């Protein structure tokens, strides 16, 4: 990581905690901060659970659109966003986002791309790229995978912001809790995940990702076949231990 760290990263057993830490700027993400986030998520790939949170009143106001880092091309800067999203998508374990306050632009993207997103009642989501004068093409590459197409178009074309309850109704977040309960709800969630069988969690997650490619009529039988195969693989590992 660079000399000035804007991402707090720590490991506690099989759990990796990644915390955005530039609260005096509402966690506005610079190129250096984005690079640190990539580094943290790369190291966290060996964990069972990633908890992504932020210090301060806001999750993040997104990328610093005014920044022009020396020697960094627009493609490189935007490519960092794809790296973060790819690391979350490719993570075999369970990623959890705990969101308080504003989660705008890149902030909404990170929240949506985590497996389970717990939003405080104060949370506000939105994609503001249009307001900055450019189409949100990076967002559109994945947003319709999470919310209906009409909702996705409304969000990206208008740039409007939605509260936690509407975000829940749209499918952008998993659950909403009072602000004062966010940390406790996150800790309880993580404890339950840690107590579960890692192999079972990972297969449940990967199966949901792959089942879309199976014809609906064949999915029940496919589920049985894969479950039998999963159990057999586990028994094989146990017998060799």
Q: Predicted confidence band at 2 (pLDDT cuts at 50, 70, 90)?
A: very low
Query: What's the rounded mean pLDDT across residues 26-49?
Result: 96
In a 3-state reduction of DSSP, which class is residue 87?
helix
Q: Which of 3, 82, 78, 88 is nearest to 40 (CA)?
A: 88
* pTM across the whole model: 0.93
pLDDT recorded at residue 1? 40
DSSP 160: -
Kindly state the percentage of the chain with pLDDT values over 90.
87
- 159, two tokens: 């740039």
Q: Are 214 and 221 in contact (CB under 8 A)?
A: no
Going by C-alpha positions, the residue among 38, 184, 53, 163 that lies closest to residue 111 is: 53
If DSSP codes are grouped into helix, strand and coil, which group holds residue 146?
Answer: coil
Please state, in angstroms and rounded to a whole number, the distance separating the CA atoms of residues 10 and 212: 35
Q: Which parts of 13-104 fold into alpha helices (H)?
A: 31-43, 74-90
Q: How confident is the model at residue 237 (pLDDT cuts 50, 70, 90)?
A: low
Say if residues 194 and 186 touch (Cβ distance below 8 Å): no
Q: Structure tokens of 96?
A: 């959890």
Indicate whether 69 pLDDT > 90: no
The structural domains of the chain, with segments of one domain joined by +, span: 7-194, 197-240
CATH of 7-194, one of 3.40.50.300, 3.90.226.10, 3.40.30.10, 3.40.190.10: 3.90.226.10
List pLDDT tens digits, range 71-127. Answer: 889 899 889 999 999 999 999 999 999 999 999 999 999 999 999 999 999 999 999
């Amino acid at each position: 990581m660079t000399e000035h760290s804007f991402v707090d990263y720590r490991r506690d057993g099989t759990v990796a905690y990644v915390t955005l830490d530039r609260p005096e700027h509402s966690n506005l993400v610079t190129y250096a901060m984005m690079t640190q986030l990539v580094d943290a998520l790369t190291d966290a790939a060996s964990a069972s659970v990633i908890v992504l949170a932020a210090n301060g009143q806001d999750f993040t106001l997104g990328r610093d659109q005014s920044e022009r880092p020396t020697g960094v091309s627009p493609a490189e800067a935007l490519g960092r966003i794809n790296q973060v999203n790819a690391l979350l998508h490719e993570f075999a374990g369970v990623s959890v986002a705990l969101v308080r306050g504003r989660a705008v632009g890149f902030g909404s993207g990170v929240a949506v791309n985590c497996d389970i997103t717990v939003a405080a009642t104060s949370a506000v989501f939105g994609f503001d790229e249009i307001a900055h004068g450019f189409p949100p093409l990076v967002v559109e590459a994945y947003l319709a995978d999470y919310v209906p197409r009409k909702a996705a178009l409304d969000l990206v074309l208008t740039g409007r912001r939605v509260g936690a309850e509407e975000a829940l109704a749209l499918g952008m977040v998993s659950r909403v809790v009072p602000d004062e309960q966010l940390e406790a709800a996150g800790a309880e969630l993580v404890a339950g995940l840690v107590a579960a069988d890692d192999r079972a969690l990972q297969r449940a997650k990967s199966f949901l990702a792959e089942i879309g490619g199976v014809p609906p009529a064949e999915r029940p039988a496919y589920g049985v076949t894969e479950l039998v195969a999963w159990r057999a693989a586990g028994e094989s590992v146990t017998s060799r231990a």
